[in-house]
Structure 1
């Protein structure tokens, strides 16, 4: 059944004389309830405004009744101005700066004594000459010069890879650390006995 929502009218009652207890659909169009004026809030706002105005008038009145102080008399005599120690540049009372600029210090450094015995460094000892030559080539790639020396002992023939002779132990240690970084291990430093 189609309904007309634009024009709402009261539905027709089917029975005569009987009223339905239900109100008609669409609600009743009566008067809206009257809004009350918030008198209590208005009274409180007015009281606060008047208290604030009264407080301001008291403050203003107290400021008006205060006597202005006469300005200080200006004198043309120059009084010494107080000196602030922070504003002044400090005066040096030390003389050591001037003395040190003109003083010459002589330092005697003894020269390092050269050892009478030079150092040798052995990096390997092998049964075959081919192994010794191979280690000599690895050392040569590090920029150092090695020698292969053949020695005969109680347990046979050995081929030793030797660097040096070095005049100082410090240079020998420097080359040893260079070889350690290149994975050439087991190098030992000793005095060469000739």
Structure 2
């Protein structure tokens, strides 16, 4: 066993100066400084505080505004609906449900009947400025059992990455796929492309 020197034992064993002594010392030092300042100024406390200038004048109002008008709030450069091409129309949920019911009421066929007007049905699950965000959504969609793809598109001088599913042969299959995505918390738009 190593022997400690007396200085080390004393240093480790003593508690030092208590905190209240340091606090009291600081208060006394502060009081001494205040007394010294008061004695230097002849006991006049008024000299220690700032005084307003009695001859100061307010600036004259001019026709020019002092502050500029607040700028209009920035509109986002990207709107989900702007991404769609001119020949693509968003199908509202009510219209999609009505069209799917109408298809279900028609006589059954061995295969789902394609749209009579030659339209294709697609789902757009999202559009992103970053391809990694689009790929992440595509992977999330794959967990639902649906197959998605990422399509780059040039919009307003920049590239966006659309996550799309389809084409679906009719509104009924489109509604079923959109419902499957919705059940997994993925919001999507039904699109009719011509």
TM-score, scaled to structure 1: 0.41
* Higher fraction of helix: 2
Q: Which has the higher contact order (CA 8 A, sep 6+)?
A: 2
User: Whose radius of gyration is greater, 1 or 2?
Assistant: 1
